[in-house]
Amino acid sequence: DVMSQIDRDCGPTELYIIFARVTDRGLTALKHFPRLKSLVIRSGGISEIGLSHLRHLKNLRRLFVQGEEIGDDCLIHVSKLTALRDLTLRTLMIRGDSTTLLSDLKNLKKLFIGAVIDTTDSEMAEYYRRLSITVADLPYLRDLTIRFSGHGIELSNLPSLTSLDLANNNLTDDRLRGLDDLPSLVSLSIKGSSDLGDGSLEAIANLRNLEELDCSLTACSDRGAPNLRVLSKLRYIALAGTKMTNASLESLGGLAELRYIDFPQSLQDEDLAHLSGLAKLSNLRLGSISDEGVAYLAQLNNVRELDFSRSRISDRALAMIANNSKLTGLNLSGTAVSDSGMIHVSRLSGLKSINLSDTAVTDRGLASLSNLTGLQSVNLQNCSHLHNRGLSCLRLMQGLKWLNLSNTAVGDQGLSHIRGLKSLQTLRLSITMVSDEGLENLTELTGLTVLDLENTDISGEGLRFLTGLGQLRELHLGYTKLGDESAEAIAGLTELRHLDLAHTAISADSLPYLSRLDNLEVLNLSGTGITYLDLVHLEGMRNITRIYISHSDLINEEIDLVTRVLPGCEINSVV
């Protein structure tokens, strides 16, 4: 026991005993630290007996104790540390009413209790079921967290408490006492306490200073929602995973300070009517809504992101949101918006991200966005009416980091418009008309980390333009004309983590080159001429965790050989 070797007074004001071989016997040395103000103990070898030596630490301001099972009798000694401001106790075994002794710690400002009850003695089950944790008469306590496997918590006379975390407890409404008498409470979480419900909401209605409330994953229902109407200072509320439906939103419509709602369900047109007056709201969880629903959003000019994907909106809806200067993200994927709607989008000066995938927007519509120079992410996948000239509007977007042009008619000429976008990190060009010649436009995009060229007309000749892209982590080259002549160029991209060569003409002759990619984690070789046994040529790849290869019949000797060469690698056969 390392602590038992200390036999004279020491001067430190802080002591950390973490994962050391310390037992109750070693804690006798605490008497030699009379000046301690902060003590942290994390050890499975201590009990309430050893903690009796805490009584010597009269100057202690902060105490953190974590053991495997510490009896609540330790509170007899902890309660004598009247200078404590910050106390954490994990894992406390509750056997009686010793938590009432915490009321002696009048200077305490922060308290965390992680506690359990004994469930092994069936004869004492009823007694243990009645046990509670009591926190009372602490005039300066501001921050309280309790994790308890038992069923009861009693709170009283905590006039300064501003933050209460009761998440993931086994409480029921009738065994959570004193919740309604916390006049200064600003933040409350009962998240994951699945048996708490409408009775607790009734108590919460008395907390008129509450600004943050997390009821997610509880039994709260629409029946209890009207209790929320009086919480006029509420800024944040989480209702996801409860028994509530969006009918509960009617009770929130008058809470003008609300900034964020974790909604119980996706929002439909009729739900948005309840939110139309919440001018400070910054988030929405939209379902399949129409122009009729968007009309209610006209005054919600603090919303940061709008996801209309697959909704039934038209260009008219975009006109209704065009005044939202704080909007940073707009998803219009799969909607019926057209070039006319892009004129309204161009007024969203704060936009950072736009998704126009699967829309009918053309080159003309995209040109309307040329003034949105702050865009960082643009998704144009499956925009079948988009051609090379449409990309000219991207030239001025020097902060663009993410661009998806997959499955469009964009070709080599179109890439000339993005060659100067030095901030670009992700570029997706799969199923486009790009060829070897077009790749020359990528040579100066040295910040690229993800490049997708799958199903394009490139060959090994074009890869010479990629050799300077030293930061590439992910490269997709599947279904291209690549052959073994490409292997040496690929091997020079030493930062690669993910490489896709599926359905190319790569053969086993390329594997010695690929084995140089020391950082590679995922390699797709399915649909090539490479066999399972060929993988022995990848010996020495330290970080490879997964390889995809075409299915073939194997014998045990082949499996054993490859497993020895690539011991930590999962090899998946693709039919």
390, 366 contact by CB (below 8 A):
yes
134 closest CA partner among 165, 169, 176: 176
Q: How far apart are the first and last CA of the chain?
A: 59
Q: Could you give the CA distance from residue 109 to residue 63 in angstroms, rounded to a whole number?
A: 12
Kindly give the residue spans of alpha helices, DSSP state H, lying in 230-362. Answer: 269-272, 291-294, 315-321, 339-345
**pLDDT lower than 50: segments of the chain:** none
C-alpha distances (whole Å) from 546 to each of 12, 49, 528, 542 are 51, 51, 16, 12
Q: Could you give the CA distance from residue 462 to residue 504 in angstroms, rounded to a whole number?
A: 15
Tokens representing residue 279 in the block: 């001018």
Q: Report the half-sphere exposure of 524 (CA within 13 A, side-chain side).
A: 16
50, 68 contact by CB (below 8 A):
no
CA 402 from chain centre, in angstroms, equals: 20
Look-up: residue for tokens 């086994």?
170
Q: What is the pLDDT of residue 552?
A: 82
Q: What is the pLDDT of residue 575?
A: 79
Q: What is the pLDDT of residue 268?
A: 96
C-alpha distances (whole Å) from 30 to each of 33, 45, 50, 91, 321 are 5, 16, 10, 21, 65
**Assigned architecture for domain 435-575:** Alpha-Beta Horseshoe (3.80)
Residue range 171-264, CATH number: 3.80.10.10
Percent of the chain at pLDDT above 70?
Answer: 100
Q: Is the peptide bond before 120 cis (omega within 30 degrees of 0)?
A: no
Q: What is the pLDDT of residue 359?
A: 98
The amino acid sitting at 169 is N
Adjacent-strand bridge partners of 404: 379, 428
Provide φ and ψ at 392, rounded to 5°: -60, -25
Q: What is the pLDDT of residue 237?
A: 98
- Chain segment 115-172, per-residue pLDDT in tens: 998 777 777 777 878 899 999 999 999 999 999 999 999 999 999 999 999 999 999 9
CA 283 from chain centre, in angstroms, equals: 16
Q: What is the pLDDT of residue 122?
A: 72
pTM given for the model: 0.86
- Residues of the chain within CATH 3.80.10.10 domain(s) are 1-161, 171-264, 266-397, 435-575
424, 401 contact by CB (below 8 A):
yes
CA 53 from chain centre, in angstroms, equals: 42
To the question of domain 266-397 being in CATH 3.30.565.10, the answer is: no
| Other Cβ atoms within 10 Å of 293 Cβ, number | 23
What CATH fold (topology level) applies to the domain 1-161? 3.80.10
Q: What is the pLDDT of residue 10?
A: 86
